[in-house]
Structure 1
Amino acid sequence: MTELTIIQRSPDPEQVAAQSRTRRSIAEKIRAMGQNRIGALILLIATAAAIIWANVSIGSYETFWETHLTVGVGDLQLDFTLHALVNDALMAIFFFTVGLEVRREFAIGELTSWSRAVVPVVAAIAGLAIPALLFVLIAAGSGHEYAWGIVISTDTAFLVGALALIGPRVPGRLRVFLLALAVVDDIGALSIIALVYTENFNPMPLLIAAAGLTGVYFTRYLRGGRGPVYATLSIIVWLAFLASGVHPTLAGVAIALLVPVYRPDRRDVEHALDLARTFRQSPNTEYARAAANSLRESISINERLQSAYAPYVAYVILPLFALANAGVVISPEILAGAMTSALTWGIVVGLVVGKFIGVFGSAAVLRVLKIGEFGPGLTLDRIAGGAALCGIGFTISLFIVDLAIDDPAAQNQARVGVLAASVIAFLVSTVIFRISDVVRPDLESGQTLMRPVDAKRDHVFGSENAPYTIVEYGDFQCGFCLKASGSIQEVKEELGDDLRYVWRHAPLTQYHPNALAGAEAAEAASLQGKFFEFERGLFTDQENQRPSDIIRLARELGLDIEKFERDLTSPEVTGRVRDDMLDAEAMNITSVPTLFINGRRHTGPYDSQSLIRALSQPDQGTATATLTTPTL
């Protein structure tokens, strides 16, 4: 065993200044979580307003939403009630954004890899089937068995908002799991609406819809003016769905699935940067317009539309939907009727119990059978809280109430069931999350390395059987990480084969815009066996890590450039970097470099002798520790 020589050194003074940046990054995360709550809060306020309005002035609530609105020219006219305008027209925009998210997840998101997708997909399917089965069993004989679609879907808006409000301290991997589950859940719900709750079907208008959808697909090839073309074709497709008897909101989904989605191409990004530099050198309206258009075009239409419509959906459309559909008349007689109604209890049990059994039960079985990826932080107690939260049906549940039930009294009982189930699901998940935080306090403390070193997965430099291990979570644009790499190299020279070094990604994108691209480029290089060579190249020139610089470095290292560029946007590469980032979040890593020394987190300076001293500690021999240092 190599003798460890210990020399006392003072901490790097730059670490002190970086502490303020760490606190600032934490504040930014808090603000981001607050933004996620806003949509759910507005939706909750709209729901309460609808209930109050319906009970204070029953006649005015119903009269207002049954007001007719006629739009048209000459003999060509459309007649809607305000209620139908919200449910058939505005909700088509909501379903359009759902379709965009579905398209993105299957193209470049969490559902591109089967090992990642299998757990949320199976959980979502079980979360659709078991609630429907329980509802049918309970509502049998009531005459409302056909309304089983009410209990199949989870409200994504409330799910995300509630998770931000009451979720665990580090919800990252649970959030990814629930969002992937919600996408599959939405697909199932939309399919059921189309196949089960479509009446008076007329296939002829769908031929017009098919022609319009074909036009939507080919619009991507237009050189300019795509926006008006998309809008015109979308209106035609929506009208065709309306005339066919298929619920017109599904037109939004059909259109969204044809909108292209892709990761930014480096050539497009470089062109946008060149135009921006030209504008800076010679500011004028022509260059400004060209630079703005180039920047916009470098992002896929799918992502641009999601960003554009998301605020309107969250802050306008969904609150209006709640205001138009959540107006439950509450009286002692109605509540007494709901308490004894098989319809109401079928909804409550289906959403609260069925969703929990379906999502949690299937995930637990997959965990026992070791099928699919869970990852650090996605523990069964966390999944249990998320499964309970899935019992908030609300938006699509209220939507299907209107489709599946004609009797106003039964509709009222169903709405009582949906609202009661949502409240119960919220309370149950709150209890589960709070208990989970209490019984697993060290899970988020970050004092132990949650994902053990795996030679097949990790980037390991040194002998697999080395008695000492340093795992670094770092950022290729971070000056402190550059210093740490030099210190670790000195330790390696001192200890030789007794040390193995492992790099994991924790890019601080709020400070280093190119850090994420650098991490993905290093992963792409690793697929050609050049990870550590690429890492050294990135550290050597931290100021120049634009797309062209990354390609230049790959060429200098002799990489296959065509394969390298393909791998840059592959799900394997992007998923690998995101996994490291989620692991870092689960361990409350808010600054880099963060070093885990033999599995235990070491707080202090990271010069070579300090690292050697930490490695020599008796309690560092078997655990997995980390040294957390300031962020740049």
Structure 2
Amino acid sequence: MHLESTSATLLVIASLLALAWANSPWSHGYEHLWETVLSVRLGDVGLSMDLHHWVNDGLMVVFFFVVGLEVRRELAVGELTDRRRMVVPLIAGAGGLALPALIYLLLNPSGEAAHGWGIVIGTDTAFLLGMLALVGPAVSTQLRIFLLTLTVIDDIVAVSVIGVAYTEHLEVAPLLVAGLALVGIFVLDRMKVWRAGPYVLLVLIAWVATLGAGLHASIAGMLAGLLVPAAEPTRAQMEVATSRFRAFRQSPLPTLQRETRDELTRTISVNERLQETLHVPTSYLIVPVFALANAGVDLRDGVLGEALRSPVTWGVVAGLVLGKTLGIGGAAYAATRLRLGRLPQGVGGGHVLGGAALSGIGFTVALLIATLAFDSETLQRDAIVGVLLSVVLASVLGWVIFQVAARFLGQRDAALPKLLTPPVDPERDHIYGDVDAEVTLVEYLDYECPFCARATGTANEVRDYFGSRIRYVVRHLPLPQHPHAELAAVAAEAAGRQGRFWEMHKHLFEHQNQLEHKDLAGYAGVLGLDVEQFLRDLEDPALAEHVREDMASANDSGARGTPTFFVGTHRHEGRYDARTLIAELERDATGETARLGVRSRR
């Protein structure tokens, strides 16, 4: 959120600078700068474009590539793996496409002006999330995910419109090359290629070929990003990387250093590594430079007055500000009323309407389409004025709606719950350590999750550090993508009936890849349990219900993945290595001691 709010601030500064420069006595310098030609050549082969085109057709490809990467990651391992969560935001996104375009065409039904309908369909994802950080609820993580899901359809449709509706002539041969490059990225994914270099090379080929084909290169960036694979690290990868690191620690040789680095790199998907590399330059450099290159409209000599009388200007304003607010808000309301889906936990109707208003910030995509939609410089100017006005009006409207929702509807934070619900119950929960220990660490876990406590050693290190001062509590959160996790959780509970929960807990993590029914029966025998009783308990509905109660508890407490830790009664966010958790537990212990001291003095 800090990255996005800073990016939004830089966007505003760059836009104001561009406007001030374009309306100053030195405005010819602004025009001359972006008309400067930059050529990159190797012999007779190369690219030659002015700086304005290098920004719009080059740097912006990186922006759309990052958007594609984010969408692919959310679909593969993020919030959108549960397709049910996509229903309401996608319906809302469709409303936010159709109504703005309709409003624009009602005001500009014919002639060249009608060609600008695509200006109002897109949302500037970076600017939207940045303004959300500035004017939205103090904590808006769930609303952010809802809006990011919503902009998936905006981005895909907007880029498709750029590539199809605003392309006049296509060259077949370069188009085939671009298609082959994209197929090559898909093949690299199938072949499990983990180095980023081959993917980047094919993205560059797709970009150059798309330019040669006559398509706007943004479509190559988006499609390439959608094809770059995203996946969670596997247990096997983690174990190999750990063994390499141990070998390097014992023998710090250059060859082992290289092998260790490669294995560590392999555990993180190409998608996430590229996002990590590109996010900061995209937010802090590329998007502000785009604003600087495109927001500079000369409004002197009555130009602003003419633009404010233009139906194109007000078509853009009405489409983006009113169309997005009513289209997204109305479609989301209809989807929930018809029970087609539900809003994310923690997100209210006021939050959705405020986010819908901020979606009227079409800045980056809208400016890009404005330069493509019209041949007339006058219409381009009018559209750009409309886009800039929409940024201000949509931001103010969003702020007002969020304030009203907070004051009159009590809809303040749009975030997941942070309080452990229900609290630890010694009669029900499995507690390792003294029931009345000084600090409490609760973990929601999945026995097939490679990152949970036994796989990483986090819980062991924390318990070793605190000794008798800590009680460690386990609750179950088997994830849908892990087919044996729920049965394994029931097996742990069945062993618990015979007083061997922690022994089975350890055994399950040591054999994460072998959790079939027959495997569990074998583990019961190894642990010396009454196997027949164990097998009967595996079928006991009461134990399955116990696991489901833990899952409901996780939902009520804001736990969405594993491992999720609670320090005392509050959900821990961020890194969950042993050092971080120890520091959080110590702070919690200090705070609790201080609170007890105040009570005793009273």
The TM-score bracket by the shorter chain reads: 0.7 to 0.9
Q: Higher relative contact order by CA 8 Å / sep ≥ 6: 1 or 2? A: 1
Deviation at 1:234, TM superposition (A): 2.6
Structure 1 residues 582 and 184: CA distance shift in structure 2, 3 A: farther
Say which of 106, 115, 127 aligns to 2:96: 127
Alignment partner, residue 565 of structure 1 = none
Tell me how far apart the structure 2 counterparts of residues 226 and 367 of structure 1 sit (CA, whole Å).
43
What does 1:562-573 align with in structure 2 at a 5 Å threshold? none
Tell me how far apart the structure 2 counterparts of residues 530 and 357 of structure 1 sit (CA, whole Å).
46
Alignment partner, residue 468 of structure 2 = none
Between stretches 282-291 and 347-356, larger displacement belongs to 282-291
Alignment partner, residue 492 of structure 2 = 533
Say which of 193, 197, 202 aligns to 2:171: 202
What does 1:461-500 align with in structure 2 at a 5 Å threshold? 471-472=421-422, 482=431, 486=435
Alignment partner, residue 592 of structure 1 = 568
Say which of 56, 63, 68 aligns to 1:94: 63
Say which of 213, 223, 226 aligns to 1:257: 226
1:415 maps onto 2:384 in alignment: yes
Q: Determine if contact 2:4/2:133 at 8 Å carries over to the other structure.
A: yes
Deviation at 1:444, TM superposition (A): 5.4
Alignment partner, residue 299 of structure 1 = 268
Deviation at 1:556, TM superposition (A): 10
Tell me how far apart the structure 1 counterparts of residues 245 and 295 of structure 2 sit (CA, whole Å).
49
Structure 1 residues 225 and 161: CA distance shift in structure 2, 3 A: closer
Q: Determine if contact 2:196/2:274 at 8 Å carries over to the other structure.
A: no
Tell me the SS of whatever aligns to 2:302.
Answer: helix
Q: Determine if contact 1:472/1:593 at 8 Å carries over to the other structure.
A: no
Q: Structure 2 length as normaliser, TM-score?
A: 0.74
Say which of 338, 342, 355 aligns to 1:369: 338
Tell me how far apart the structure 1 counterparts of residues 356 and 295 of structure 2 sit (CA, whole Å).
24
Alignment partner, residue 266 of structure 1 = 235
What does 1:448-463 align with in structure 2 at a 5 Å threshold? none
Alignment partner, residue 313 of structure 2 = 344
Deviation at 1:533, TM superposition (A): 2.6
Deviation at 1:323, TM superposition (A): 0.8
Alignment partner, residue 47 of structure 1 = 15
Structure 1 residues 340 and 240: CA distance shift in structure 2, 3 A: same
Tell me how far apart the structure 2 counterparts of residues 291 and 117 of structure 1 sit (CA, whole Å).
39
Alignment partner, residue 162 of structure 1 = 131
Deviation at 1:83, TM superposition (A): 0.3
Deviation at 1:34, TM superposition (A): 2.8
- What's the CA shift string for 1:539-566, capped at 9, x where partnerless? 94899899757558999981899xxxxx
Tell me the SS of whatever aligns to 2:227.
Answer: coil
Tell me how far apart the structure 2 counterparts of residues 441 and 163 of structure 1 sit (CA, whole Å).
18
Alignment partner, residue 15 of structure 1 = none
Between stretches 423-432 and 253-262, larger displacement belongs to 253-262
Q: Determine if contact 1:514/1:546 at 8 Å carries over to the other structure.
A: no
Task: Give the residue type in structure 2 aligned to 1:146.
Answer: H
- What's the CA shift string for 1:203-248, capped at 9, x where partnerless? 2222222232233333347798944433333332222211111112
Q: Structure 1 length as normaliser, TM-score?
A: 0.71
- What's the CA shift string for 1:90-127, capped at 9, x where partnerless? 11111111121222233333333332110011111110
Tell me how far apart the structure 2 counterparts of residues 383 and 405 of structure 1 sit (CA, whole Å).
33
Alignment partner, residue 180 of structure 1 = 149
Tell me how far apart the structure 1 counterparts of residues 337 and 98 of structure 2 sit (CA, whole Å).
21
Deviation at 1:311, TM superposition (A): 0.9
What does 1:103-114 align with in structure 2 at a 5 Å threshold? 103-114=72-83
Tell me the SS of whatever aligns to 2:41.
Answer: strand
Q: Determine if contact 2:335/2:341 at 8 Å carries over to the other structure.
A: yes
What does 1:144-159 align with in structure 2 at a 5 Å threshold? 144-159=113-128
Tell me how far apart the structure 2 counterparts of residues 37 and 165 of structure 1 sit (CA, whole Å).
6
Alignment partner, residue 404 of structure 1 = 373
Task: Give the residue type in structure 2 aligned to 1:40.
Answer: A
Deviation at 1:577, TM superposition (A): 10
Unaligned runs of 5+ residues in structure 2 are: 460-473, 524-547, 572-602
Say which of 488, 497, 520 aligns to 1:558: 520
Structure 1 residues 354 and 443: CA distance shift in structure 2, 3 A: closer
Structure 1 residues 522 and 334: CA distance shift in structure 2, 3 A: closer
Deviation at 1:352, TM superposition (A): 0.3
Q: Determine if contact 1:266/1:547 at 8 Å carries over to the other structure.
A: no
Alignment partner, residue 592 of structure 2 = none
Alignment partner, residue 9 of structure 1 = none
Deviation at 1:58, TM superposition (A): 1.9
Tell me how far apart the structure 1 counterparts of residues 424 and 182 of structure 2 sit (CA, whole Å).
46
Tell me how far apart the structure 2 counterparts of residues 560 and 60 of structure 1 sit (CA, whole Å).
79
Deviation at 1:471, TM superposition (A): 3.6
Alignment partner, residue 608 of structure 1 = none
Task: Give the residue type in structure 1 aligned to 2:486.
Answer: L
Q: Determine if contact 2:8/2:130 at 8 Å carries over to the other structure.
A: yes
Structure 1 residues 67 and 547: CA distance shift in structure 2, 3 A: farther
Alignment partner, residue 2 of structure 2 = 34
Tell me how far apart the structure 2 counterparts of residues 245 and 578 of structure 1 sit (CA, whole Å).
51
Aligned sequence identity (%):
37
| Count of residue pairs brought into register by the alignment | 510
Tell me how far apart the structure 1 counterparts of residues 100 and 554 of structure 2 sit (CA, whole Å).
32
- What's the CA shift string for 1:304-323, capped at 9, x where partnerless? 11111111111111111111
Tell me the SS of whatever aligns to 1:70.
Answer: strand
Structure 1 residues 173 and 153: CA distance shift in structure 2, 3 A: same
1:82 maps onto 2:51 in alignment: yes
- What's the CA shift string for 1:309-356, capped at 9, x where partnerless? 111111111111111111122336122112211000000000000001
1:117 maps onto 2:76 in alignment: no
Structure 1 residues 474 and 593: CA distance shift in structure 2, 3 A: farther
Task: Give the residue type in structure 2 aligned to 1:358.
Answer: G
Deviation at 1:593, TM superposition (A): 2.8
Tell me how far apart the structure 2 counterparts of residues 578 and 319 of structure 1 sit (CA, whole Å).
41
User: For the aligned residues, what is the CA RMSD?
Assistant: 4.2
Q: Determine if contact 1:518/1:545 at 8 Å carries over to the other structure.
A: no
Structure 1 residues 442 and 151: CA distance shift in structure 2, 3 A: closer
Deviation at 1:269, TM superposition (A): 1.1
Deviation at 1:152, TM superposition (A): 0.4
Structure 1 residues 420 and 302: CA distance shift in structure 2, 3 A: same
Tell me the SS of whatever aligns to 1:472.
Answer: coil
Structure 1 residues 199 and 444: CA distance shift in structure 2, 3 A: closer
Task: Give the residue type in structure 1 aligned to 2:312.
Answer: L
Q: Determine if contact 1:471/1:503 at 8 Å carries over to the other structure.
A: no
Structure 1 residues 136 and 483: CA distance shift in structure 2, 3 A: same
Alignment partner, residue 564 of structure 1 = none
Q: Determine if contact 1:528/1:559 at 8 Å carries over to the other structure.
A: no
Deviation at 1:394, TM superposition (A): 0.1
Alignment partner, residue 404 of structure 2 = 435
Tell me the SS of whatever aligns to 1:392.
Answer: coil
Unaligned runs of 5+ residues in structure 1 are: 1-32, 452-469, 489-501, 562-571, 596-632
Q: Determine if contact 2:478/2:489 at 8 Å carries over to the other structure.
A: no
1:137 maps onto 2:87 in alignment: no
